[in-house]
Every structure is written in C-alpha cells, then in structure tokens.
Structure 1
C-alpha cells in the first residue's frame, strides 16, 4: 500500500520571523462513500447491497447518538470513538466551567490491525 504526499511550506507559529520550512502532507487519492462500501461488503458475504447500506446508515446514526450521550463507542477490532474537548486554562478547578470549552472533536483510536497498517505503508510524492 502506498500513500501520496505533497510538500507544504509552513511558518513556525512560535517564531513568525523564522524562514518557512517544508513538510510532507498526505494527499487524498479518491474517496469511498457508504454506497461503495455497501457494494464491496455485499460482494464479500451473503448480505445484499441494500441491507449493507441500511446497516451502515444505522451504525452511523447510533454512533452519533451514543457519542452525544458522552459514551465511548467501542467497535471491537476496528477501534473506539470518543468525544474530546479543549478548553481555556484556569488557575483552579473551581474556575473551570462549560463556557471555557473552546472546541469539541471526535477522537478515533484505531484497533491493532489498523495501527499495524501504518507500519506497512510506503509513501510516494504526488505529481
């Protein structure tokens, strides 16, 4: 498996006068949507494409609902989803309130097989 990358110039946020440095940045090479996933899965088992699609849509709905309840969604070997937050720093725990939360994001912690994929990747420059 091989991932394309491009180079991007970036300034140092701690020293805006420092010269830019160039960094590798992964380039998306196409995409796959739920329809395509449902079709792929249907060819790999006895479940129809429409049944696979229905299950994937239901899975998405339930993941959203459970994350909205503050739960960690454990997807077995695939990995875990969880809501993460960032907040402003305060001097004491008592000063921290919900209004200090500046950002929420979805965290995904991949399972062992997905993590192993990262060790097996090769990279090639795009273009």
Structure 2
C-alpha cells in the first residue's frame, strides 16, 4: 500500500491497527461494518434450539463468527480474473 499512496509504512500500520480496533468494537455492538468499496463485515452466531423463548440464554449460543460480503468491484474483478488449470 505504501507504493500506492503518500503514507509511510508506519502510518499504514497504525491505520490498520486502528481499523482492527474499530471493527472489533462495532461487531461487538452487533453493528455491520461497511468498508466502502471493500464490502462489509457482520457478526453471526448459531445456537441450540429451545422449546420456549424464556429458556433462551447466553448459554444457548454455540458458535460466533464473522461473515464478509465483498463489494461489487471485488466480485467483478474475480469474475474477470480468468482461471487456468495448472
């Protein structure tokens, strides 16, 4: 990235660390993180089923994760990339 901008390696590193912190905070709040043309990140979870709503607790959650939905430009570039068998 340093080659494509006026930022130094240290500046870029600092921005990435700050972005990581912001992403963690927003996902922990249940928010979608939109990264302009890069796409978006959102938290996911899976849980065990409960017979009644009042039986659902934090212990019902079995797995948490993060999904990434790429932006249009990334999807289009992959479609145009072409593939060859090696």
Q: TM-score, normalised by structure 1?
A: 0.59
- Give unpaired runs (5+ residues) of structure 1: 1-40
- Give unpaired runs (5+ residues) of structure 2: none
More strand by share: 1
Matched, 1:56 2:23: no
Q: How many angstroms does 1:111 deviate by?
A: 0.8
Matched, 1:124 2:85: yes
CA–CA separation in structure 1 for the residues paired with 2:80 and 2:22: 32
What's the secondary structure of 2:62's corresponding residue?
strand
Cα-Cα RMSD = 1.7
Q: How many angstroms does 1:97 deviate by?
A: 2.3
Matched, 1:73 2:33: yes
Closer/same/farther in 2, CA of residues 123 and 92 from structure 1, 3 Å limit: farther
Higher RCO structure (Cα 8 Å, ≥6 apart): 1
Aligned to 1:115: 75
Q: How many residues align?
A: 85
Point out the structure with max Rg over C-alpha.
Answer: 1
Matched, 1:106 2:72: no
More helix by share: 2
Moved over 6 A (4+): none
CA–CA separation in structure 2 for the residues paired with 1:119 and 1:77: 16
Closer/same/farther in 2, CA of residues 92 and 119 from structure 1, 3 Å limit: farther
Q: TM-score, normalised by structure 2?
A: 0.82
Closer/same/farther in 2, CA of residues 123 and 89 from structure 1, 3 Å limit: farther
Q: How many angstroms does 1:68 deviate by?
A: 1.4
CA–CA separation in structure 2 for the residues paired with 1:123 and 1:104: 36
